[in-house]
Structure formats: structure tokens, C-alpha cells
Structure 1
Amino acid sequence: MLYTHILGTTKIDQNRKLKKIIEHFLVSKKNFFDQKKLIRGIRKIKKNTYNIQEKKLDITTFGMFPYYDKVLTTMLYIGIVPERYFDKKSLGIKKLFKISKGNKNIKPLEMTKWFNTNYHYLVPELSKISLKKFFKNNFLKEEMIDIKYLKNKTKFTLIGPITFIKLSSVNLNIKSVYKNIFKRYIKIIRYISSKKINYIQFEEPILNNINSIDINMLLKFYNNISKKIYNKIIFTSYFAKLDKKCFKILKKINSYGIHINYTIDNEINKIVKVFKKKNKLLSLGILEGNNIWIPNYKKIFKRIKKIKSFKTNKILISPNMSLEHIPYSVKYENSMQLNIKKWLSFSKEKINSLYIIKKILLFGKKYYKKEYNDNKLIIICKNEFNKYSDKIIYKKIIKTKIKKKRKKFKNTILFPTTTIGSFPQTDEIKKARTYKKEKYSKYKFVIKKNILKNINFQKDIGIDVLVHGEPERNDMVEYFCNKFYGCIITNFGWVHSYGTRYVKPPIIYGTIINRNKDIFWMKYSKEIVKNNLLKGIITGPITMLKWSFIRDNISYKKILFQFSYALRKELKKIKKIGIKIIQIDEPAFKESMPINIKEKKKYVYYAIRAFKYVFSGINNIQIHTHICYSKLDIFDIKSFNKMDIDVISIESARSFMKVVKTISKIKLNFEIGLGVFDIHSVYKTNKYKIFNVLKNIFYIFKKNIWINPDCGLKTRSWNEIIKPLKNMVYAAKLMKKKFKHKF
């Protein structure tokens, strides 16, 4: 039998209803009636995701609904609460948001990237005290309410215990942690299975990055629960390429079913060999769940032919991963060029493609001849588009060689203060964007006024290196893509980034060409600052690539260097008007790294070359970069040393300065600025706390350090940033006073 299903789907529709109802709750009194209203709104969103699946698929997937974050939801399912949040109050919605956002006195959980995606998750804290208690709650019970209305077979999805532990912050004996977490998972498996669910899907994307202890524990857990507790388990792996170690694990797992990525051509023969004689349910990820291009039916049917010899008669087909990383539907993009719109396939369209593929497999191409031939023609048109311009740009790119040395603009300021770039995006700025085209002079007035306000505020409080605050920029990637040919910005293509923050990744459909002739706002800012230092800011090529939906008809390396070439032109313009400090933001540098070590080394080689290409051979400038919300290790720090940067600013306030220990193990060839306060949290710090943090950093590095917040300030209000920035400047003055004699 052939069944269709998905691993998960986006919860964000074209109107971002989820964002609106959660943000409305966060500013409410949070009483009983507000909570009921929130739950009702969320149930409507859930029902919509179920209805889409019920119409087109054979199995309906649900579970792990992210009120704020799916890892946090999993943590609450298994009754874990960080010890600093222990109190007598019940574990409900109020506490969920308290844990995720913190409050004035308690820090929130650390936040970092979900593998190599642009989704950020909250890092669970597994301590001796937090693992002693099981906090009862209704989050799992709430997930089960709608199950009685579902007509399809049902599948509950959960982050698996191995991935959960490996993504957590753990300072205990790992075997004792595994035992504790396994008991918690068994408890909720028993509850889920009692609700007459057909399957439980365990997601273990960490599979390619585990050691021998983890492997033993993984096999022990899954083989045990399959035999004794619940046998309809589908073990799910995605993201990483499957190496020999992974195939050995998959052979030994005694689960009812296994899901694997079936989109990588050179892995398909291995998959066929391993699973040909296995009589178990096999779920094949035949569609790419993390890109937005229409599937190539011809390629897919060629791959599926190979499974006809399989012993099993239980085959599921699905996307290779959850559809939560792509937008809701192309249907609403009415202003998009029709030829480009035809190339696209968002979450709803992927589900429809699964439906068509199944029908063709069951009844033959002759019954769906039009759909098959239309698909074939669209793929040909898409693949031929911009071939000529790709070649022209490539010839221009290879003319510029990456030079080993450049003359640098050196820093002479002791403990310099700066910010990451953006300042609060007020309602006035957001409103001005809506009439930018119709009333440009009015828009121009608002942006000028806000740049002046940002710069004067920084001057008044004594910040050393100023920024213009980016009021003209909506999103750091979208802003530059609007300047480049080959990019398109959707109207409703929202994707979850973290919490209630959503982004619209640009779509790269053609050759990247910088068509921007002017840098008006940087010129205006330079005139205002006069003798003060001004930092120009551009988004780096790796982040431009990673935070966009890129073409699938040329290699990512070619697209990466097209971005580098376009950004190099931008950087030259900034330097030409006399700005000597330029920050090339690369928050995606770490998140883009593959899990596999060989792939990781290859990625770093090309990423560093693309980064250096932007400024190679351009003298008398100081190059900064910014990295945020990534778990950094020694490999990463060594990579930074090869980037030819002068200063790096790193998010570290929320991660409790853990990154300092890692960085201190390597001799650095650049100056560093560690974020001294968390801009995404309501947790309050003061000047003396910042001063103590800075002292500790200085004692470790024993060299000049930069002082800055941990990220851009655009999501904050002015009331939220004034005091922390003043405290930061005051702490810098205390540092200068105390350690001046050391230089």
C-alpha cells in the first residue's frame, strides 16, 4: 500500500494569525478570559492545518504546536522547568511565556539555531534539581482535543529524546540524564498511545552527530519501547547526509517504520541496498521540504522506480523534512510575475504535489497527462532562465583575486563602545514604508528625522563608533535583495524565525546583479556625524544566501560568489564617501555549517573565500562582523581567525558568557566585542553588572575589547533601550578608568 503524509507543516498563514493572537495575549492582563481567547484562536489555526492534510493526504500529522517554540513545548510535555522558574504556581500558558521571555529579575533560556536553518529554539536546561521534579501540565492534553474529529489515520510527532538531550545544556553524568529523560518520554508515550493514535513519529535529526554512548542509548530506548510499550513508532531522520554510521544505526533499530531523505541521488542506491529486504514501513522523503521550487516529477518517478523491488508493501511518501521552514501558499502572491509564480511551490502546493504524485503512481501518467506535461515544461523554462548572464557574471568574478594582505584602519580607542546596527523601528517608520512610492518626499522626511534622532542620541550618551540606525531597512536580507536583480520579495511568504518573529526570505530566481546606483542614506548619515566615527553596515554573502530561498539549477557556490560580487560594489561605494569602519554581518555563518565534518570543512573553505572576496584588496578600512545565536566551538573560532576580520561582535548575554570559555582557548588575531546585554529579553541589567562582566572578559583576554549589545535594536522600543545603552557606556568609562594603566 502507498500512503501520503508530511512530517510537519507551517503554522503561519498569509496573515500571520498566530503572531497576532500571541502578541495580543502578551500585552493583555493574562487572566482566565485572555487565556481562553488565546486557546480558542490556536485551536482554529490547528484545525486549518488538519483540514489541509485531511483533504489531500492519507495520514494527518499533529503535535508540538509552538506557542513560542517547539523545543520548549517538548520540554513542557516531559514536565521539565528550569530551576530558576520553580514556584508554587501551576505550569500553564503564563509560565510558558515567562520561561521563553524572562522577566525583570529572571533571565530567559538561551536561544540558538535549529541545526542549519534560520529557526531559533530555546535551549533546555537539564540540571540535577530540574530533573528531580515532573511538573504536571495540560499542554499534551490540549494537543489531543481535536483528534476525535480527524477522519484520516493519525500521527503524533515528537522531538526524539536523543536530539532533545544533545540540544540541551547539560552538566551532569550523561547516562543518568538519559535514564531520567527516557522515563519521562515513556510516561508521555503511554498517554499518547492510550488515545488510539495510529503512529508516533520521533524526530532525530541529530543522528549524524552522535557518539558511541549516544548510539547505545538510542538503540536501547527505541528497541525497548517498540517491544514493550508502543510498537507503531516511525523513526525519523533528516538534514544530514547518511554516512556508514547512520546506516548501521538504521539497520539495528527495531522500530515499526523509518523515515529517510530520498532526494539525494548518490544516497538512493545505498538506501535501496539497506532496506530492500527489510519488511518494515518505509517513509521516503521524495520532495524537498526546505525549498520553494516545484518538484521535478520526472526525477521523482525515476527515483521511485528503484523501490519496486522492496520486500515491504508499506510505503509512505512525504517531503524529506517538515514544511515549517517554507511559507504557507503561493496562491496569495498576486503581484508576482506569472512565469516566476509558476516555478514556486510552498507548503500547500507541496501537499498538493504529493497528492498528484500518488495518483500518477497508482493510475498512470495518462490520467494526469496535463499535470505531468505542464510540470515538465515549467522545469525546462526555469532551468534555462539566466544561463547566459550567469556566465557573464562568473567571468567578472574570477577576474578579482583574493589577496592575502590589506592595509587596515587601526583602532586607537580604549574599550570602544558601539551598537550592532539597527535602532527601534517605530510605528512612524513602519507607517512611512506603506506610502514610500506614493509620497516619497514625506517618507524621506521621516527617515531623515529618525537617522538624525539615532545619531544625536548616540552622541549625547557618548558612544564611540556611531551607526545610522537603519530606519530605511525593513529586514537585513530583504533590504539588499531589493537593490539586486535576480531577487524577488513575496508579499505573504512568512517563515517562523523565533517566538513571534517572522521573516519573508527573498527568492533568488536569476543572476544576482547589483543595480543600486546610490547610497543616499549613508551619505546623509556621514554628513551628520561630522568628525565622529561612523560604521557602515552591509549583510554578508553567506547570510544573504542562507536567509534566502536560492535557485536549485546552479550550485550554491556560484550563487554565493554572485552575492559577494554584488556586495563588493556596495562596500566600495561606502568606502568612497569616507566611511572607514564597515561591518559585514554574518549571523548565518555558523548556522549554515553542515553536520558532517567533511562537508563542514568544505563549506568553511568556500564561505571564508566568499566573505573575503567582498573586501579583498580594499585598503584603509576596518572590517567588523557580527555573529549571533549560535553555539560556537573551537572549530568555529579557528575559522574566524582565517576571515581577515579586525573586530567580531558575538551574542553572549543570553548564553551566560559560556562562549568566553570557548574563545579563550584560541589565540585570536582580531579584537572582540561580546554582547553585554540581551536585547530580546525583558530581563534588566545595570551598569555595575555590565562592568563586572567586562572585567571578567578583560581578565581572560588581557587585551582591548569592544563593548556592545548582543544584537540589533530594531525589535525594541526606545523606552527599552535608553537605560541599557547608558549603562553600557557608563560601564565602559569605568573600564577605561580602572585599566588605562594596562595599555
Structure 2
Amino acid sequence: MTILNHILGFPRIGIDRELKRAQENYWNNKISKKKLLKIGKKIRIKNLLTQKKMGLNYLSVGDFSWYDHVLNTTMMLGNIPKRFLNNVKKINIDTLFHVARGVSHNRESTFPSEMTKWFNTNYHYIVPEFNEYSTFNFSWNQLFLEIDEALLIKKKIKPIILGPMSYLWLGKTTSKNFDRLKLLPKILNIYKYILNYLHEKKIKWIQIDEPILSLNLSQLWKKKFIYSYNFLKGYSNKLLTTYFGNISHNLDIINSIPIEGLHIDLISGKYDLLTFNKNLSNQILLSLGIINGRNIWKSDLLKYFNLINNFKKFRKNIWIGTSCSLLHIPIDINKESQLNKKLKSCFSFAIQKCYELFLLSHALNTGNKSLIKKWILPLYYKNFLLNFNNKNKKNLFIKEKKYFRKNNYNIRFKKQKNKLNLPIFPITTIGSFPQTKELRKLRLNFKNNIIDKKKYESKIFSIIKKNIKEQEKLNIDVLVHGEPERNDMVEYFGENLNGFLFTNNGWVQSYGSRCVKPPIIVSDVSRIKPITLKWIKYAQSLTKKPVKGMLTGPVTIFLWSFSREDISDLTIVNQISLALKDEINDLEKNNINIIQIDEPALREGLPLNDDEKKEYLDWAVNSFKLSISEVKDTTQIHTHMCYCEFHDIIQSISELDVDVITIENSRSNDNLLMYFKNFNYNNSIGPGFYDIHSPNIPSKNTIFRLIKKSLKYISPEKLWINPDCGLKTRTWKEVKKSLYNLVYATQKLRLEQKN
């Protein structure tokens, strides 16, 4: 038996973030559509040639996207919300960008579709919209275009499509009480057309992603799953692809549908492989996801060689692959010229993960283990290079009472009201202000020693002063310093804590053109010195209004970093919590009476399988509470969360016991507020009345209407007014106008409440 290798997808941003720059230049009318399309094609061809060079047996096609792959599917199925079809003669790439970002027509704006997290990752997708009037027709031939490109490479290719059941699951209904499953027959007809086209192209294998098989599905959804794949039987071989968790509980579906292959994620899934294999039809090819697609450490290839070598006698047809798409990790470790060589040898980015698959399949097929032994040598001296000996171990044995503040919210609310003396409907922003070219250049010049620390800090202070003045002009009630010193909300804190390592080019796509550069946790985490105090103290000295202290929470720092795989999550996150606790205490001692601790990743870490959720939520909530456990009742603690499904963690959000939570509701049509109301959430909420991920400027009337609507769910004394996220990606022109409208609408409502 020959064991073949493949990946589930390759990063699409380009090795130097060419896609990001092309997108943003196109949106700003700096390049033509023709130039944009040319750059996209160049990235795709390079990705295919890289896979070929690294020794992959099947090249993945269809993993490229102009914004995100779910939106690609929406376009392909012709499921475009009607508001984007006015005066549109032909659906094209502009339609895709309008759905993702919204569009302005003279004075009117068309709001974009909702955006949320892709399962338990920091990748975002544009949410499909469904109602009883939804129509479907094949409208976007991007996949077919990419297949024709790939066939010229003269190598076996494997097209990737998002499966019909996962696509339906990931969407939202815009009509009350409408069952989206009623749309399934219409969708399946388009899938049938696509599969027939691929069959006619003589393509042997098609990867159909159905990640919802890791979830606990209802009997109705299971029944529809079986119906769907029986409807689509025939055509090319289907590799049903699952990831982000174990699917053993849904094996009844797998054994009831006509598929030729199944991919499982052995990294996140924690399978008992022999038991799983016994219960799986022997006719199905089994693809084993053994190379971690979500972390950057080298794989222990010898461990997987032994596992698969022992296992292959139980199944006649095996492939090996990545656990999931490689879009969640950086592209090439060889772009990192400044890393310590020994540390660098411990890491494996997307290109190196492809090579790991070649090395492992070569060893399994030939029996020669010399290459894999050489590859994994750094893993054996990693523990000598990196410390994780819990210098503050005694602090990690935390008593349960340490997780709780002194008094409950109702008592704190009264004390904070007297202390802060804020007006009804207090107005604030989430933290960051526009990161201009000049500001980015300033930070780069400091990093490259072109300017000294004194000059750099002087410039940062002047930007903070400008930010405070602008907010006072606008009549905002609770101010922020604007975060000009921060490159990224996680990277900045990592740079100021012990235990983190940083790359120069380790970029990962978060959504659209937005990329992040996650730090790497390599050893014990502790605080060296105050991180934010200098900047916040200065900002507070400029105004009589309260200025928020701005921190990133422990769970988000942990989840948005590449963490050690040989240390428990709880140990690492509690070390981060203790470091932040010191920072919070310092801010409080210096009369910073409002402190915001952002936790946008809290929902993201939630395992897909119901049986594993409680354990995660318990330690995640406790780690946050540990960081704020010593603050005074008069210190108002805020947190911010965005772009995720809150309904299944609403209990945990309540247990965080923050005084104010700000959320993203601007694209959610009040669904999020409904969850909070139905739960009887008692603490204060800022729903977010300005969608900062769109270039559209919300009008005064639109904001006023949204605020009035939110009062159906939140009592006036508990309602905060704010944008739905930080403003770093917007221009000052957009920000000033939008915030002016936000303040105007709020003041109008205050007058109305008085009368």
C-alpha cells in the first residue's frame, strides 16, 4: 500500500501579504480590477508550485479567496442578499466586496452581511443569509477558473468546496421562524451541477468540507445530512473532510452515506484510532490529519510514523494530511532572518508543514526513517533551550475565593455611579484610534533604531494629546488614549511580558485584508514592569473626564498566540492572568477608575463537542476573574467581545461579572441583545452602534433608531453607547464624522428621556 499525502488548504495572503495590499489598493482606487485579478492569479500559481515542490501528491485547489471561503460559496451558489443586487447587471468581484464591506450610494448606505468567527478560530467569515425568498443559481465560476489554472501544472489536483450542510449551518435566517433546511433541495441542485462539472474534467478526488460533523447534531440535521449525500452520490470520489474535533458521535451519518473517503483531525480530535477504525466502513479511504494546521511547532514525525506504521495493517487505503487548512499559520519560516537559529529550527510554518508530509509519507512507504529522525532533532533539545519551570509556581495554586470580587454588581453599580458621575447613556469608544501611515512609520523607525526612545515617546505623547482633544471636542464621556504605541492588541502585550517570541513575517489572515502576527509562547510568562501605566497616566492628566485603562485579557493573549504544546493551557493562561493582575492593580493605584480588559477570543476557544465545553469555560472564566479579583468596588471593569455566537456561552459571560460589556451588534439585527435579555443579564451593556468594519458612515438617524431599538432589551441606566470595535483600521475622516453622528444621536435621546 502506498500512503499518499495532501493538505486541506494553503494560506492565500501571499508570502509578502500581496493579497492584502492589492485588496486595499483596489478599494482605494489605486489599482485596476485587472491588476487585482492578476495579483490573485500570481498568488494561486505560486501556492500550487510550492505544494508541488514540497512533494505533495495532490495539490489543493479552491482554497484561495478574495475575502473568505464561505463568502466564495455564497457567491458560487448565487445566494446574494437582494439589497446588493439593485442596479447590478452582472455579479462580479465588486459584488463580493459589497456583501463583505457594505456599499454607499450617494447619501444612502447598504449595510454589509454579518461577520463571525469560523468555529473555534480567530478567522472570520461573512455569514450567509437565508429566508423563504432565497434563490440559488450558479453565479460565480472562480472555482472553475482556478481548476483550469491548476490543470496546467500537470499534477494531480484536489478541488476543495465547502459542503452543503456546513454552509447551511453557518448561515442565519433573516425571516422569523423560517427553517433554513427547506432551502436544501435548491442548494443541492447547484452542488450537483458543480460535481458534474468536476467529473467531466476527469478530476479523481474532491475535498468536501463538513466541519459541522464535529458538533452534536440533532436527529433532523443528521437525517438531512444522509439525504444530501445520497442525492449527490456518483461523480468523482468524495473526500468528506472534518476538523476541529472528534466526529465519532456522528459515525452513524458517515456509514449511511455514499462517500469514498473521510478525513479526520487527530490533533484536535484526540481519537482512539483503533476503536474508530473498527466502527468505520472498511470501503472508505481514511485520511489522517496528523500535521497540526493551527500551531507552528515541528511535528514529532517519528511518533506519527510509529502510529501509522502500526495502524496501516488495519486499513488498506490511508492518506496523511494536515489536521485542517494551513490558513491559520504563517507561510514560511525561512522568511525569519532574525530568530535565534536553534529556536528557529523548532518551528514549522505552512511550507514546512507540506514538507513534513512528504518526509513522513516517504518514510512510511520506504521504511527509511533517517530523514524524519534528522528533522525532529530540535524537538529533543527544545526543553533544554526553553524554560517552563513555573518560577511563580506557588502563585498558581489559587484558592477559589481568589476568583471573586468583594461585592456583587448591584452594590458596585451604586458605588461606581457616585464615583464616576456619568450621564445617562455614557458614550465611549472601544480603545484604538486610526493607525495612520505616519504612526506606523514612527513605530518602525523606533524599532529599527532610526530614532531614539526619547524622540519616539515624545511623538507618542503628542498623538495621545491629540486623541484626547478630539474626543473632548466630540463630547465623548469616557475617553481612551487611542493606543498609538500598540502594533497589535496581543503582540504589544507579548513584547512587554517575559516568555514570548516574535516573528517579522509570521502573518496570518484574520478576515479580508486584515492580518495578524501572533507571538509565540516559549517559556514562563511574567510581567517585567508596568506595560500601559505611563501612557494611561499621561492621558488622564490631560482631562477631567475619566480615561479607560486598556488591556487585552488573559484568554485572548493565550489563544491569539502560538502556545507551547507540552505545557497545560491552564498553567500558561494563569501565568498571564497573574501578570495582568499586577498591571490592573498599578492602574487602580494611579486613580484609573475604569479599566477595560478585552476578551474577544473567549468564545473562540470553546471546543465543538458538548462534552468538552464545561472544562474549557471553567478555566477560561476563572483566569479572567483571577486578573480582576483584587480591584475595588468603585473601579469599573469593562470587557469587549466581538464577532462570535454568544448564545451558548451567555452563562459564562455572566460569570465574568464585569460591570460593562461592549459587544458587536451593528450587523446582528438585535439577535445578540435578545440572548442577553432572555438570559436576564443584569450588568451594563454597550451594544455597538457603529460598524467599524465597513467604510460606510452611519447617519444620525440610523444610530438614533438603533439606540431606541436597543432600549427594548436594555434598561436606560444600563445602556452604553459605543462603536462595535476599535477604530484602528478606519481613517480619521470616517471616525470623526461617525463619532459626531453617534454623539448627536445620543444627545437627542437624552433630551427625549428628560422630557
Q: TM-score range by the shorter chain?
A: over 0.9
Query: Once the 2 structures are TM-superposed, how far is the Cα of residue 186 of structure 1 from its aligned partner?
Result: 1.1
Aligned amino acid, residue 49 of structure 2: N
What residue number does 1:438 align with? Answer: 450
Q: Does 1:213 align with 2:220?
A: yes
Aligned amino acid, residue 700 of structure 2: K
Aligned amino acid, residue 281 of structure 1: L
Q: Does 1:733 align with 2:747?
A: yes
Q: Does 1:165 align with 2:178?
A: no
What residue number does 1:667 align with? Answer: 680
SS in 2 for 1:190: helix
After TM superposition, list the pairs within 5 Å mapping 1:481-496 onto structure 2: 481-496=494-509
Q: Is the 8 A contact 1:329 1:348 kept in 2?
A: yes
SS in 2 for 1:486: strand
Aligned amino acid, residue 17 of structure 1: E
Q: Is the 8 A contact 2:312 2:318 kept in 1?
A: no
SS in 1 for 2:724: coil
- 1:527 paired residue among 517, 541, 546: 541
What residue number does 2:565 align with? Answer: 552
What residue number does 1:722 align with? Answer: 736
What residue number does 1:608 align with? Answer: 621
Q: Does 1:226 align with 2:236?
A: no
CA distance in 2, matches of 1:267, 1:319: 18
Measured at CA, do residues 666 and 280 of structure 1 come closer, stay the same or move farther in structure 2, by a change above 3 Å?
A: closer
Query: Once the 2 structures are TM-superposed, how far is the Cα of residue 685 of structure 1 from its aligned partner?
Result: 1.9
Q: Is the 8 A contact 1:343 1:379 kept in 2?
A: yes
What residue number does 1:346 align with? Answer: 349
What residue number does 1:150 align with? Answer: 153
What residue number does 2:335 align with? Answer: 332
Q: Does 1:196 align with 2:202?
A: yes
What are the superposed Cα offsets for residues 385-404 of structure 1, whole Å, 9 maximum, x if unpaired?
545x5332222232575243
TM, length-normalised to structure 1 = 0.94
Q: Is the 8 A contact 2:603 2:644 kept in 1?
A: yes
What residue number does 1:315 align with? Answer: 318
CA distance in 2, matches of 1:386, 1:357: 26
Aligned amino acid, residue 102 of structure 1: G
What are the superposed Cα offsets for residues 544-596 of structure 1, whole Å, 9 maximum, x if unpaired?
01111110011111111111111111112211211010000000111221111
CA distance in 1, matches of 2:752, 2:702: 15
Query: Once the 2 structures are TM-superposed, how far is the Cα of residue 84 of structure 1 from its aligned partner?
Result: 0.8
Identity %: 37
Q: Is the 8 A contact 2:478 2:546 kept in 1?
A: yes
Gaps of 5+ in 1: none
CA distance in 2, matches of 1:383, 1:297: 17
After TM superposition, list the pairs within 5 Å mapping 1:537-576 onto structure 2: 537-576=550-589
CA distance in 1, matches of 2:471, 2:85: 40
What are the superposed Cα offsets for residues 174-218 of structure 1, whole Å, 9 maximum, x if unpaired?
332111111121122212222221211100011132221211111
Query: Once the 2 structures are TM-superposed, how far is the Cα of residue 138 of structure 1 from its aligned partner?
Result: 3.4
What residue number does 1:2 align with? Answer: 3
TM, length-normalised to structure 2 = 0.93
After TM superposition, list the pairs within 5 Å mapping 1:232-271 onto structure 2: 232-244=237-249, 246-263=250-267, 264-271=269-276
What residue number does 1:71 align with? Answer: 70
SS in 2 for 1:587: coil
Query: Once the 2 structures are TM-superposed, how far is the Cα of residue 317 of structure 1 from its aligned partner?
Result: 0.7
Q: Does 1:124 align with 2:128?
A: yes
Aligned amino acid, residue 78 of structure 2: G
CA distance in 2, matches of 1:726, 1:25: 28
Query: Once the 2 structures are TM-superposed, how far is the Cα of residue 108 of structure 1 from its aligned partner?
Result: 0.7
CA distance in 2, matches of 1:610, 1:363: 48
Q: Does 1:283 align with 2:287?
A: yes
What are the superposed Cα offsets for residues 135-157 of structure 1, whole Å, 9 maximum, x if unpaired?
63432332223133122211100
Q: Does 1:363 align with 2:366?
A: yes
Q: Is the 8 A contact 1:64 1:74 kept in 2?
A: no
Measured at CA, do residues 64 and 305 of structure 1 come closer, stay the same or move farther in structure 2, by a change above 3 Å?
A: closer
CA distance in 2, matches of 1:641, 1:521: 31
Query: Once the 2 structures are TM-superposed, how far is the Cα of residue 512 of structure 1 from its aligned partner?
Result: 0.8
CA distance in 2, matches of 1:699, 1:112: 24
CA distance in 1, matches of 2:598, 2:179: 38
What are the superposed Cα offsets for residues 597-628 of structure 1, whole Å, 9 maximum, x if unpaired?
22111111111100000010221311100010
Measured at CA, do residues 182 and 399 of structure 1 come closer, stay the same or move farther in structure 2, by a change above 3 Å?
A: closer
What residue number does 2:643 align with? Answer: 629
Q: Does 1:35 align with 2:33?
A: yes
Aligned amino acid, residue 507 of structure 1: I
CA distance in 1, matches of 2:351, 2:722: 42
What are the superposed Cα offsets for residues 352-374 of structure 1, whole Å, 9 maximum, x if unpaired?
11111111112223xx52x3333
What are the superposed Cα offsets for residues 232-257 of structure 1, whole Å, 9 maximum, x if unpaired?
1111111022342x222222232011
Q: Is the 8 A contact 1:108 1:683 kept in 2?
A: no
Aligned amino acid, residue 425 of structure 1: Q
Measured at CA, do residues 29 and 475 of structure 1 come closer, stay the same or move farther in structure 2, by a change above 3 Å?
A: closer
Q: Does 1:429 align with 2:432?
A: no
Measured at CA, do residues 265 and 207 of structure 1 come closer, stay the same or move farther in structure 2, by a change above 3 Å?
A: closer
CA distance in 2, matches of 1:296, 1:383: 14
Measured at CA, do residues 403 and 115 of structure 1 come closer, stay the same or move farther in structure 2, by a change above 3 Å?
A: closer
Q: Does 1:516 align with 2:529?
A: yes
CA distance in 2, matches of 1:352, 1:548: 23
What are the superposed Cα offsets for residues 259-291 of structure 1, whole Å, 9 maximum, x if unpaired?
11233555323223224x602222111111111
Query: Once the 2 structures are TM-superposed, how far is the Cα of residue 29 of structure 1 from its aligned partner?
Result: 7.3
CA distance in 2, matches of 1:403, 1:169: 36
Aligned amino acid, residue 273 of structure 1: K
Identify which range, 95-104 or 696-705, moves more after superposition.
696-705
What are the superposed Cα offsets for residues 497-517 of structure 1, whole Å, 9 maximum, x if unpaired?
011010101111111121124
- 1:708 paired residue among 716, 722, 733: 722
What are the superposed Cα offsets for residues 305-342 of structure 1, whole Å, 9 maximum, x if unpaired?
33222242x22111111111100010011101112111
Aligned amino acid, residue 85 of structure 1: F
Q: Is the 8 A contact 2:60 2:158 kept in 1?
A: yes
CA distance in 2, matches of 1:190, 1:362: 34
Q: Is the 8 A contact 1:223 1:255 kept in 2?
A: no
Query: Once the 2 structures are TM-superposed, how far is the Cα of residue 92 of structure 1 from its aligned partner?
Result: 0.9
Identify which range, 374-383 or 293-302, moves more after superposition.
374-383
- 1:577 paired residue among 590, 611, 616: 590
Aligned amino acid, residue 593 of structure 1: L
CA distance in 2, matches of 1:501, 1:374: 37
SS in 2 for 1:260: strand
Q: Is the 8 A contact 2:298 2:376 kept in 1?
A: no
- 2:302 paired residue among 298, 303, 307: 298
Q: Is the 8 A contact 2:102 2:695 kept in 1?
A: yes
What are the superposed Cα offsets for residues 615-665 of structure 1, whole Å, 9 maximum, x if unpaired?
1022131110001011221x3222211112100000110222221222110
What residue number does 2:103 align with? Answer: 103
CA distance in 1, matches of 2:671, 2:240: 33
- 1:651 paired residue among 644, 664, 674: 664
Q: Is the 8 A contact 2:102 2:111 kept in 1?
A: yes
After TM superposition, list the pairs within 5 Å mapping 1:449-460 onto structure 2: 449-460=462-473
Q: Is the 8 A contact 1:272 1:307 kept in 2?
A: no
CA distance in 2, matches of 1:281, 1:699: 54
CA distance in 2, matches of 1:282, 1:467: 53
Identify which range, 159-168 or 74-83, moves more after superposition.
74-83
Gaps of 5+ in 2: none
SS in 2 for 1:318: strand
Q: Is the 8 A contact 2:61 2:150 kept in 1?
A: no
Q: Is the 8 A contact 2:685 2:714 kept in 1?
A: no
